[in-house]
Structure 1
Amino acid sequence: MESTESSYVSSPEAPRRRSSPPPKSPTSDTMEKPTYVRFLVSNAAAGSVIGKGGATITDFQSQSGARIQLSRNHEFFPGTTDRIIMVSGSINEILKAVDLVLAKLLSELYSEETDDVEPRTKLRLVVPIVLVVA
């Protein structure tokens, strides 16, 4: 079983976020706090999200403003053979990024010629136990 403290990779051209929060201002209460969403995909689906030379993930980050990171190859979520995609940013940035990722995965499914009427894939959302119990 791999460590839960997986390293994440994103494209080298990924926008860099500040390491410390911006200084407090009178209107800081109206600013959104950074949010994180993690979900699991197969290794093949992760490759599709990264794209050749990181082009797809770089494009998705530019379009959404969110940061998209993937666990390294062969670093799986414990108990699975799935890689972790972590998307961070404001709620709107995350929603846009997840929309782009899901649209890419769906387009890959439907572009493959299959005999199935409806192609199937798995995508699992990672929810901390604290939120399940609350």
Structure 2
Amino acid sequence: MPQDLDPNNLQIDLTYLNEIAGGDAEFMIDMIDIFIEQTPEYTDQIITAIAAKDWKTVGDVAHKIKPTLAFMGVNHAKEQMASIESRARTESDLDTIAEDFAEVKAVCELLYGGLEKVKADLQGSL
């Protein structure tokens, strides 16, 4: 199992986010807040869409989540989301989408707590 999908070994690597932010802690905090606020809504939308076999919505929402996973440094989860998006859009290998998405969702849920700690550290540096 890739490291960023292993709940016992989740590493948050904000190098990419820091580069985009130019070291601006307030911008990084804003991006973390957006991830923590929006991602649960997106995951609920995908779960509903998978249950309804609404593959267009699965692809559209997966597309929205993908860059935020990159910002948070969980590249394997981002790649898995890209695969989910592609399969949903082409309606191929649909039988594995729910299981793959469950893994990404579990990573996101672990990220929330870790990101709250990172955010607190960033706020302390302001």
Task: Give the alignment's TM-score, normalised by structure 1.
Answer: 0.29
